[in-house]
Chain A
Amino acid sequence: MRSRGIYPFYFIIAVLVLYLTFFIIPSLSGIYFSFTDWSSYSDEINFIGFENFEKILSPDENYLGYIWNTFLFTFWTIILKTVFGLALALLLNEGVKRFVNGYRVLIYLPVVLPYLVVALIFRSILHPGNGLLNTFLHDIGLGALALPWLIDPRIAMYSVIGVDSWKGIGYIMVILLAGLQTIPKDYYEAAQIDGANAWHRFRYITIPMLMPALMIVTVLNVLYGLRVFDIIYALTNGGPGYATEVLSTEIFKAFSKGQFGLGTAVASILFVILVIAGYFVIRLMERQPDRQ
């Protein structure tokens, strides 16, 4: 009986070969190339040791700032998407009674829009002179709040975070909504009979029961945030100056300038960050107590 449930090893060979060819070998060669001076300007590729990494980690370069920006983006998008996604999920799970499906579709809609479209729309909305947002703020007498959203280096990153969160909240909401709907109603009824108020029910039933879904959205947000590219490239192209530059935009720029060795070195650093972040998040998930 046992042997019927186990497939022979050779079943996996084809998949392993594909995985090795298209994932493992390119990844390893990417790491190898990060130790070379490979560029589009010369046919020769020479091993140069840690020179690319020294350059990236040197205080004379801006790369440490790009790493910081990547973390900043990741941190704030996780907070915003999770908090607002959860709030909307709670609202649509219990709070709103009419047109629930209509609201769900509306909130999910930004997710299906391409990043380029979203960025073009928001570049227009956030234009400091004639953008919709600042015009609206001026019209209602709140001109003091009309800021140079995308062109002031102190706030540009937060504007990008805001736009990205607006686009991503719907996705997070759907996952959390699915999680909320798996929580048995009996727990809430029992708690209510015991005298638990709304906050207690949320704190001691909803949050613990929703933890697996929250962990999934955190993992997704961490991985997305660290690899972010599209929205920044299309909205600010890393500017003004270098204010919103992140690791992925820098990898793209190094490659487009033909500095392949340097580009793969930045990509290798991002890879290491992703592995470390992924490891800790998965460890955290494993430590979660069983819902039952």
Chain B
Amino acid sequence: MTFTKTTGLLRTGTAKALLLAGASALAFASFAGTGLAADLTLTYMASQDWVKDAEQALAKKFEEQTGIAVDFQIIPSDQYFNVLQTKLNSGEGPDLFGGQSGVTDLKLQYNVEKNAVDLSGEPWASRQDPLVSAQATVNGKLYGLTYWDVLGNSWVLNYNKKIFADNGLEVPTTYDAFKATCQALLDAGIQPIYEPVADGWHHVLWFPELGPRYEEVAPGLADLLNANEAKFEGNETMLAAVSQLNELYELGCMGQNALADVFTDSTKVIAGGQAAMTLNNTGFAALTENDYPEMKASDIGVFVMPLADNQMLNLNPAGPTHFIYSGSPNIEQAKQFLAFLAQPENVQYFVENTPAAMTLPFEGAPSKFAPEVQALFDAHKDARGTVYQTAVNYVNPQWMDIGKDLTAMFTDAIQPEDVLKNIDKRRADLAKAAKDPAWQ
């Protein structure tokens, strides 16, 4: 026992010494690099992969201009929430911390009303995309700067333009037109849609991603669902979407082996012309060209999912977001850093120097989208909304269960009404477990 304790102490001591040495070396390197003694150092704690190289470069620039250094504390993603929670709960939070936006997460995971600073009055607040800001807002107060390309990840139907042209087909804008398109492709011996059901998560996208359409038909529905004053069961638009998805499966539009198909084959199938369409994100065309250079990105077009006659663009505006810790002694300096990041020239620098980011959610931000995708975004500038896995509580945690229900529906084990009924049932279970007052 004594041996273990001593070893433990030795280990802790060694670890501390190493940390100290590392920190000193970093501090030395920082001084040596800039040749300027920092007046103050802000600490910013974030999960692995949330801080891009371009942001670190911007922090250096910020330090040169203001003398305020930013110390990035990057924590492995599987440990991040535990470390952050411990720090916040013990009152020793960093000056800035990263967190996943989304109203439910802000309340349940981060308790931002207690732990974060109200940023509603910041100069960049009005320039941040309103849909994105809504996910970082609790009770009318904006708490976060979302410095992440949340808009470039919309799930849309990507189609092979050549196949469409050869068969005299046009982009469908209603469900009936979509069904007719699929039928025409089937008649021509081409599989209309590649739908990888085997992974269990992909085919779910067809339902909650239509959130903007549900909201368009019944404005305020998400709020009513969150207040437990509305249900999925009995909603005609939702029932239409699920029933139509089932009809497409039964007509054979997804091929005979959809239940065994996997997502990783998507680019191969579309590049090989084995299917005409697939539901994928807006970067799919570029990815396909990257994987199969013979298929050009410009040969792939995009359109929004037309189930339930949807013509709204689905956005998931939640993503890694910067918060300022309410207990920080350096709140003003931290605000200064966020304002610096949001300056147009710095937003431009970030987008240009971050391969994974197509844009940032700020007014006037540059865009690297393919012309097709940009055209889609432009055309839907006033016709877009938030997907239901983000807008409605307790939908995202049951994603895989919805997948199972949809598969059961495809195999006639349950009916479309049951899919909606089960979602309500699981939401009630989750809300009850979370002691949600709306369900008490």
Q: Which residues of A contact B (CB under 8 A)?
A: 37, 39-42, 44, 127-129, 148, 150-153, 237-243, 257-259
Contacts and interface: CB of A to CB of B under 8 A. Distances in A.
A128 B200 CA distance: 17
B5 interface: no
Given A41-B435, A151-B257, A239-B200, 5 more contacts: A42-B434, A127-B257, A128-B256, A153-B413, A257-B397
A200 B410 CA distance: 52
How many of chain B's residues touch chain A, expressed as a range? 20 to 34
B244 to A, nearest CB: 19
Contacts of B74: none
A44 B435 CA distance: 9
23 contacts: A37-B432, A37-B433, A39-B433, A39-B434, A40-B433, A41-B108, A41-B433, A42-B434, A44-B435, A127-B260, A128-B256, A128-B257, A128-B260, A129-B257, A148-B260, A151-B198, A238-B404, A239-B200, A239-B407, A240-B410, A241-B414, A242-B413, A258-B433
B208 to A, nearest CB: 17
B255 to A, nearest CB: 8
Chain A contact surface mostly: loop
A42 B108 CA distance: 10
Contacts of B163: none
Contacts of B260: 127-129, 148, 150-151
Contact of B435 (A40, A42, A148, A258): A42
Given A153-B411, A153-B413, A257-B397, A240 B433 contact: no
Contacts of A127: 257, 260
With a 10 A CB-CB cut-off, give which of B398, B405, B409, B430 has the most chain A CB atoms. Answer: B430
Given A151-B260, A259-B429, A242 B404 contact: yes
Contacts, number: 67
Contacts of B407: 239-241
Given A148-B259, A241-B414, A242-B408, A41 B430 contact: yes
B433 A241 contact: no
Contacts of B256: 128-129, 148
Nearest to A130: B257
Interface string B414-432: 1000000000000001101
A137 to B, nearest CB: 15
Nearest to A261: B433
B136 to A, nearest CB: 22
A25 B190 CA distance: 61
B269 to A, nearest CB: 11
A122 B188 CA distance: 33
A241 B404 CA distance: 5
A126 to B, nearest CB: 8
A288 B124 CA distance: 83
Nearest to B435: A42
A259 B398 CA distance: 12
Q: Which 7 A-B pairs have the closest CB atoms?
A: A241-B408, A151-B259, A41-B434, A39-B433, A41-B433, A129-B257, A241-B407
